[in-house]
Every structure is written in structure tokens, then in C-alpha cells.
Amino acid sequence: MSIMEMQAMEVNTTTAEPLYNSTSGDLLASNYSLAPNTPINQNVSLHQASLGSCSQDFSLFSSEIESPSMAGGSALLQLAPDNSTGLNTTFGSTNLSGIFFPPQLNGTVNETAAPELPDPLGGLLDEAMLDEISLMDLAIEEGFNPVQASQLEEEFDSDSGLSLDSGHSPASLSSSEASSSSSSSSSSSSSSSSSFSEEGAVGYSSDSENVDFEEAEGAVGYQPEYSKFCRMSYQDPSQLHYLPYLEHVGHNHTYNMAPGTLDPEEPKLPSAGKKSSKEKPSEFLDKQMSRDEHRARAMKIPFTNDKIINLPVEEFNELLSKYQLSEAQLSLIRDIRRRGKNKMAAQNCRKRKLDTILNLERDVEDLQRDKSKLLREKVEFLKSIRQMKQKVQNLYQEVFGRLRDENGQPYSPSQYALQYGTDGSVLLIPRAAAATEQPARRQDRKQKDRRK
DNA sequence: ACTCCATGTCATCGG
DNA sequence: AGCCGATGACATGGA
């Protein structure tokens, strides 16, 4: 309704108050009735006007029409409404000529309308049309199209709006995968094969104690959702049992390493058997080991890389204190611990980043749905406004066409127009006056008209 | 040969 | 001051 009011104001500069004060969207749809306290008045020029034969079935106004003689020279024709509540409306001081003056009326009356007279209602309707056009332009411009709208409408109809189908949500899928991953990683401790297991778990598994995965898990606190982006090895935990040895195959990151720490057993040549099927078992096991594991073995570190990496600080220091280790060994152990922890941190960081992207994409989808829904609602509102305006126009024609002057003649729509008063009255005023009247002078005009 | 992707690693920052 | 996690940047190797 505010849109309509604004549009009406754009056309009728004299409009100062809401045309309607109704919360009902179909305020004019039920019938053309006025609330009991909204009499329609005519100004003095209609002091002998009558509604003629319209009283019997004219639902807008009751047949109770103030007698011209009763009003005397300053007749204020009161068109008492019936008691219908269909239009519980307070008519403001609105120039009805601007809103209601029907363009068709110009051709239906005997008197010729002035050519300079505007066609306000038609303008309003055109404006509404323009609104829709501009809306559609906007919609198309921003990715909204009727096909999409219809699809969305079906979607909303079936899905009650914006909530995403959790069954289709990557989050739900990924969360289940995440849980399975978690259980997988925790249950794979005996095999030491999870990609979460880190180097220590993979490296010395053949000749050292099993990995304590409870500790390892304690170090990995983040259990993010698995997303569609997660094409990393831990996306499908079930595969981790079969492919752990591939995790570090061929990776030969030797930068930042002191030459003396290079593991002689570490495979350095890219041509050294790319096909695992042709490798000896010892080479196969070697390739399961990370570089740090090779280094640790070369430096004869007496405990697993997994412990080096995952033990709490106190236990780690306690472990170191139990052995007599050279400075090179201690340095390597510290590097192994640092790299191992950072490797886990990097994995978690990447998973977090992917999840963030996924969540943002879902947010974008939600917002796009919101936007599409609002656009469709706007279209519907504009349609409703257009229909209401049409009904108002019809009402205006009907009311105006049934008014009669003292001679029983209809009023010329080119010379007279209906106008709302601030007190809820409706005045019939000369068109020239209606066109030039300023809101500030409205009361004066009313008085002046009454004196006519 | 080249690109893309996953991963490891380092440097750095902030708690 | 040192530890530690987070993260950007870079390197590396596989597909």
C-alpha cells in the first residue's frame, strides 16, 4: 500500500495523506463500500446534486442522500455509506481527480475533456507497469528469470522456503564422512595406515612398536566437515587402508636439509622404480617412510617419529631425557617434531579453508534464494496494486457517473473531479481548482467551495 | 611439456 | 623467551 501511495503521490502532488488506511490487501475487492464514518461530501457546487437512480443498487453509497434543501445554500452533500466494512478507509485530503479520474470517462461524457488534462490513473497504471518492467529488468540483470522463478516457486511450494535440504547438503554428507573418517583414523592404529597417522606411524611400523593413536588424535583437534572440494587422500577414509604407502611416494623434499643428515637409504633417483610392482619388499617399505623417518632411521633415533611428533611436551622431554642423544640427533628430533606438527596443522588449515569456502557458497545460495523470493513477492504485490487501482478506477467512474447536478445532468469529468478531504469526506470540486490546489490551502479551498 | 592438484615444508604471526 | 597452532607462500611430485 505504501508503494501505491507513493505512486499516487507522484502523480498527484496534492496528495498528502494515505489514500487508504487499511491493512487488508483486498480492501476494494470485496465491495465498494465506505466505512460508516467516511461520508462522501460534495462541495457547494453540488448543493443540489443527487445520486438519482443509483440508490437502489449502488453499494458504495447508501441511498441516504442529504436533501439539497436541507443543506441549503451551503449544501454539503453527504453520501452516507452503508455499514459494510469492506472498505474501512479513511480518505485523506486527496485529489480524487488525480487518482480516480478515468481516462475512459473523457469519451463517455457529453462534454469534451480538456486536451491538457492529464490521465493520472492511466499514468499510475503505466507506472505500475513500468515498475514491473524495471523489476524484470533488474531481475534479469541480476540473474533472476521467469524460468528460475517458476522453479524456485515450485521449490518454495514444496520446501516451504529457504531451508536447504539437508539430505542434499554437502555438509550433511561430509559430516558423516568426517565421522567415519574419525572412526577410521582411530581404528586404524594397529595398522598404522591412516593418512592422519603421520610419519611416525607409517615409518617404523615394521620394526617398532605400534603407534599410540589416542595421543595422535589428541594432537589433531579439528574434525571438519568433508566437502566436495576435499579430493585429498582423507576424503575417503576407506581408501586409506589400502593406500597409505602412496602418501609419500616419490616425494623428495630435500631443501633446508643439512647434507650430513641426508639418509643414504632415502630414494633420491626419480628413476628408481616408479612402478611399485617391480620393487623389492624392502624398497616398498622404504617408500612408505617419509623423509624424516629415513632421517630418523639414519640417525638411529631410538623412538618413533610418531612419538616425537605427538607426545605432549612434558612426555616428549621426558623421553628425550631417557636417552643419551647427540646434538645432531636432538636437532633432527626437534625438526621432526616441528615438521610433523606443522604438517598436521597444514592439513587442518586446508580443511578449514575448504569448509569455509563451502559455507560461504551455501550462504550465497541462501541469499540468492532469498533474493529470488523477494523479487517474486514484489511482482505479486505489483500485480495486486495494479488490480486495486483498476478497481478504484472503476469505482470512481461509477460514483462520478451517477452524480447529478441540480438539473439532473451528469457532471463533466473534464470540469469536476472527486477529491478526498482530510476528515474523510469526498468533495466534488471543479477540476481547475483540483489541479491547482496546494495542500496547504486545501482547507481554505474547502471553505471557499462551500461558500459558492 | 605443461597444468592442476595434493601435500609437505618454511617463515611468520599471534596467543 | 619459548612453545605452539594457524596460515600464507613456496616447492615438489603425481595425474
Q: Which nucleotide C1' is nearest A198 CA?
A: B8
Alpha-helix residue ranges (DSSP H) falling in A12-145: 68-71, 96-99, 103-108, 120-141
Q: Which nucleotide C1' is nearest A339 CA?
A: B9
The distance (Å) linking the CA of A199 with the C1' of B11 is 22
Alpha-helix residue ranges (DSSP H) falling in A160-227: 170-187, 198-203, 213-219
- Asked whether strand B has any atom less than 7 Å from the CB of A291, the reply is yes
The distance (Å) linking the CA of A167 with the C1' of C13 is 37
Q: Which three cell numbers stand for residue A429?
A: 470540486
d(CA A154, CA A145): 14
The distance (Å) linking the CA of A332 with the C1' of B1 is 38
pLDDT on residue A320: 87
pLDDT on residue A376: 98
Residues packed against strand C, CB within 7 Å? A 219, 221-222, 246, 249-255, 270, 274, 313, 316, 337, 341-342, 345-346, 348-349, 352-353
- Asked whether strand B has any atom less than 7 Å from the CB of A251, the reply is yes
- Short-list A99, A97, A93, CA closest to A7: A99
- Asked whether strand B has any atom less than 7 Å from the CB of A255, the reply is yes
Q: Which nucleotide C1' is nearest A221 CA?
A: C5
Amino acid occupying residue A69: S
pLDDT on residue A424: 81
Q: Which nucleotide C1' is nearest A222 CA?
A: C5
- In order, the DSSP letters of A271-338 are TS-S-GGGS-HHHHHHHHS-HHHHHHHHTT-SS-HHHHHHS-HHHHHHHHHTS---HHHHHHHHHHHH
User: Of how many residues is chain A composed?
Assistant: 452
Residues 6+ apart with CB under 8 A from A394: A102
- From first to last of the 452 residues of chain A, give the pLDDT tens digit: 344 444 444 444 333 333 333 333 333 333 333 333 333 333 333 333 333 333 333 333 333 333 333 333 333 333 333 333 333 333 434 444 444 444 444 333 333 333 333 344 444 444 444 444 444 444 444 444 444 444 444 343 333 333 333 333 333 333 333 333 333 333 333 333 333 333 333 332 333 333 333 333 333 334 434 333 434 333 333 333 333 333 333 333 333 333 333 343 333 333 333 333 344 555 556 656 777 888 888 888 888 888 888 888 888 888 888 888 888 888 889 899 999 999 999 999 999 999 888 888 899 999 999 999 999 999 999 999 999 999 989 988 898 899 998 899 989 888 898 887 788 888 888 887 655 555 444 444 434 343 33
d(CA A212, CA A218): 10
pLDDT on residue A437: 52
Residues 6+ apart with CB under 8 A from A130: none
Give the CA dihedral A71, A75, A79, A83, nearest 10 degrees. -50
Which nucleotides in chain C lie less than 7 Å from some protein C-beta?
3-9, 11-15
d(CA A309, CA A29): 76
- Short-list A338, A297, A347, CA closest to A185: A347
Closest protein residue to C13 using CA and C1' atoms?
Answer: A251
Q: Which nucleotide C1' is nearest A353 CA?
A: C7
Which nucleotides in chain B lie less than 7 Å from some protein C-beta?
5-11
Three-state secondary-structure class, residue A19: coil
The distance (Å) linking the CA of A295 with the C1' of C14 is 23
Q: Which three cell numbers stand for residue A397?
A: 467512474
- Short-list A294, A288, A293, CA closest to A307: A293
pLDDT on residue A184: 35
pLDDT on residue A429: 87
pLDDT on residue A431: 82
Rg, C-alpha atoms of chain A: 42
Three-state secondary-structure class, residue A416: strand
Beta bridge partners of A416: A430
